[in-house]
Structure 1
């Protein structure tokens, strides 16, 4: 059977390994498994969101409000925008898909960092667009400017902060780049981890209302999957000019998020104290990872997210470390598929992180004893 030829060179996105895999393969008690591979919030979600899910459980036979009026109103208030500036997606990655279908075809090109969120490339390839990547793994704004001027891409992705590495451009660097783009280039600012970046360093903070007022060719993406702890609900959003949002709504399918997801997000948005506390606890634990890395001579990338990337030396591979931890009941993310001997570890709760440190030290001691 013949399929769309554009699918031939697409590598399927590799999601973080589920807890169920360790239960099946190693017979580990699920209560003893620590999953730190998918950047989920270890503190769960707001009690208000949980209550909303329980209260609306009997409505699952009904379609949700497709206008998503209440959620958009909450986001409009949060960001000082209009509801007309907002589109809701099944995760912010669905809005990435909308953007590429709206702007690109087989004659188009898309610019991104060498190592960034894999779905940018996957969705771009689905529409036949050419992929342009910077030489550096992380975001180097001078490389972006140089490649932009050379190729004039239809879409540019800036992941601020960047997943899966954790580094983050300053706001003035983002503005510097956008100011040199054509009004016809769509610049996608992926702010999935902005809550963490803003809490850690005000120089990294992107204000959507400010940037949309200054630049008409920008869409800002946010999500309820990270700081809000609703990864399983799959709710993301895009903030942009009326013109961009109207076009994206032509692509959005009806009822693209479920009624429980919608109600959970509405309630989660009303509990900013939960988000603030989760972010504070995460950044406090992040410092322990940095201290641990320094103590054990492990290179790491300073992070403005809820995860940290350890760059491993030539003595052992990321696969060896990940497999060791898997057998001990700990799931982290192997970055081998990105061409890096590195691992990404979601920041967990204090007891989870303590266990991870113990096991990595055990692994390092085991490696030393073999040499």
Structure 2
């Protein structure tokens, strides 16, 4: 059997370890496991969403409304755009895939940060495209512009706030870059934008403004983070109609489930729940900063619902992650990104207290 030769260049994406796997491999009771690896909202989703899904669970045998009318109408109202400027995906990952398939081939290149969301590279390599990376994990858009001039990429990925590092760029800095970059599709991934906007309004990238000013830009958002619907897999892209029309040619029918559409539409109605969760997130973030300072750990200033600890040379990220795993704490080891670092989701106060206790235990062992 012959496979696409581009697959030889690919590594399989490794998601954060699920609780079920830790139960099987380590024999730890599920109630004693704390998952701080996948940046889920630890407060769950709005009770109104849960109620809506429960009331409509009997409809799961029906195919969803493939026009996605209600969800697109709700998003259009939220962002001040038209429904024709929106495409819905099974997570924003699927919209990323549409972008790659629509634009890339073996003669193209893609520009991205040195350390950023792994799926940008994976989707590009699937199309045979070349990867161009900046020299720093931060989005140095001056360097991006130099690389743009040199390589003429077909897609530029800007993840703000950036995953897995947590840093974010100012809106005006992004716009100054976009003024000079007119040709490629610029993908602005705002998966964690709700958090960034709360912490610093200068980081907010309004989709309506973005696409009105820059017709080659597409904004990506998701319900997996602040809205607490990671298990429902709903994301969206917002761009001018010409872009959306092309992406729609790649969208499979019924790509979002009936209950997922209902959940996402209902979630948009309870902004109070989302804002409370974000407020709690940054209140708890302060505890992680304090813990880092107490233990002489460097960290990246985060505009998300996670924090990245940069570890000293005497502490190996993979070893530390495994030591925590044996204690029932799941975090994300960033060794595969070339960083000796851990990414830790900000949990509930109770979860965080246990993390600090277990992490201190491991640190004390290193000192012996």
- Shorter-normalised TM range: over 0.9
* 1:68 to 2:68 alignment: yes
Distance 2:143 2:49 in 1: 42
Q: CA deviation at 1:138?
A: 2.1
Q: CA deviation at 1:259?
A: 0.4
Deviation per CA, 1:3-57: give whole Å up to 9, x if none.
0000101011000001011111111110110000000000000111111211111
Number of equivalences: 368
Deviation per CA, 1:123-169: give whole Å up to 9, x if none.
00001111100011221111111101111111000001000000101
Runs ≥4 residues deviating over 4 A: none
- SS class of match (1:364): helix
1:20-169 map, 5 Å:
20-169=20-169
The residue that corresponds to 1:19 in the other structure is 19
The residue that corresponds to 1:348 in the other structure is 347
* 1:295 to 2:294 alignment: yes
- SS class of match (1:211): helix
Q: CA deviation at 1:295?
A: 1.0
Q: CA deviation at 1:320?
A: 1.1
Q: CA deviation at 1:72?
A: 0.4
Distance 1:337 1:112 in 2: 17
1:168-317 map, 5 Å:
168-182=168-182, 184-317=183-316
- SS class of match (1:344): strand
Q: CA deviation at 1:291?
A: 0.9
Deviation per CA, 1:264-314: give whole Å up to 9, x if none.
001001110011011110011011101110111000000000000000001
Deviation per CA, 1:87-139: give whole Å up to 9, x if none.
00000000000001111111011000010000000000001111100011221
Structure 1 portions without partners, runs of 5+: none
Distance 1:136 1:314 in 2: 19
Q: CA deviation at 1:185?
A: 1.1
Distance 1:42 1:32 in 2: 15
Distance 1:137 1:204 in 2: 17
Q: CA deviation at 1:332?
A: 0.1
- SS class of match (1:8): helix
Distance 1:139 1:131 in 2: 16
Distance 1:277 1:128 in 2: 44
- SS class of match (2:136): coil
Distance 1:249 1:270 in 2: 26
- SS class of match (2:9): coil
Distance 1:79 1:22 in 2: 40
Structure 2 portions without partners, runs of 5+: none
Q: Is the deviation greater in 173-182 or in 92-101?
A: 173-182
